[in-house]
Amino acid sequence: MIEFKNVSKVYPNGVQALSDIDLTIDDGEFVAIIGRSGAGKSTLIRTINKMHNISSGTLTVNGHDVSALSGKDLRAFRRNIGMIFQSFNLVERTTAMNNVLSAFVPDMSPLNAMIGNFPEAMKLKALESLDSVDILEKAYTRADQLSGGQKQRVALARTLATNPSIILADEPVASLDPITAKQVMDYFKKVNNDGITILLNIHHVELALEYATRVLGIQNGRIVYDGPANKVNGDVLNAIYGDTMEFGHVEA
């Protein structure tokens, strides 16, 4: 469970990114966050694994007070939370397999990590993770030879390798064409069906409504909509985006 209680975030330059967020996300939910650029979507996601510190309030994840975590406790906490980025964050000059294996580096001795001496159990888990997103045949292909959609599937496999209970995705399909974006979203849905909580920041409203069961709408650091995806209509979108828009064709 993820629980925000009166959480605010103010950046050093004075920008108020989040204001008095009260929010509970239960285990196994698929939640999409929508809103204009700069509304606070990425900040909200990145406070959950303490990539960004909150300024006030309380944020609890799986029973842990996130603000109190540091050092090895924070590293252990993050092992249970996967993170997917728009830019894939792969090492381009090595294989898909090696990119997935990199997820295990924090569990290894510095020497074994440096020389790439991964135990067989880790190698098998990496292959299983690639297979789970249907890209096993590219295991020994260099990342720079993969398409954008394939790279994002490798990034998802890398996250799955550590058996997370939560996956955070920050605009994971923003750089993909519409057909490939839907294919990648299919894998997020598959992962969610396996019981993993998905919290996904996305600017394609159509995809948010198609794949998520719950939608959060953020405007100026505040949640202005929190409800089922099938209840989002033109009035809701106007409240989130602030302008009159044609429903179903919003990308912001």
In-domain check, residue 156: no
CA 138, 139, 143, 148 torsion-angle sign: positive
Within-domain flag for 209: yes
Q: Has residue 165 been placed in a domain? A: no
Task: State the chain's mean pLDDT as an integer.
Answer: 91
CB distance 1 to 59 below 8 Å:
no
The rounded percent of the chain whose pLDDT value lies above 70 is 96
For residue 34, is pLDDT > 80? yes
28 lies in a domain? Answer: yes
Q: How far apart are CA 105 and CA 224, in angstroms?
A: 40
Structural domains counted in the chain: 1
What letter does residue 142 receive in the DSSP assignment? B
Query: Residue 20 sits in a domain of what CATH number?
Result: 3.40.50.300
- Closest alpha carbon to 248 in 184, 204, 211, 213: 204
Which of 113-122, 135-144, 204-213, 220-229 has the least mean pLDDT?
A: 113-122
DSSP-derived 3-state class of residue 17? strand
What is d(CA 75, CA 69) in angstroms, rounded to the nearest whole number? 9
Q: Is 36 inside any structural domain? A: yes
Q: 8: domain range?
A: 1-80+199-252
Is residue 43 a part of any domain in this protein? Answer: yes
How confident is the model at residue 113, as a pLDDT? Answer: 78
What local confidence, expressed as pLDDT, does residue 243 receive? Answer: 60
Percent of the residues in the chain that have a pLDDT greater than 90, as a whole number: 81
> In the prediction, which pLDDT does 251 show?
37
Of 15 and 251, the one with more pLDDT: 15
Tokens 């106007």, located at residue: 238
213 within domain boundaries? yes
Give domain status of residue 124, yes or no: no
- pTM score of the predicted model: 0.90
Sheet holding 64-65, edge to edge: 16-25, 2-10, 56-61, 64-65
What is the rounded average pLDDT of the residues 84-109? Answer: 90
Segment 110-115 shows an average pLDDT of 80
Task: Determine which of 164-168, 172-176, 185-189, 240-244 has the lowest per-residue pLDDT on average.
Answer: 240-244
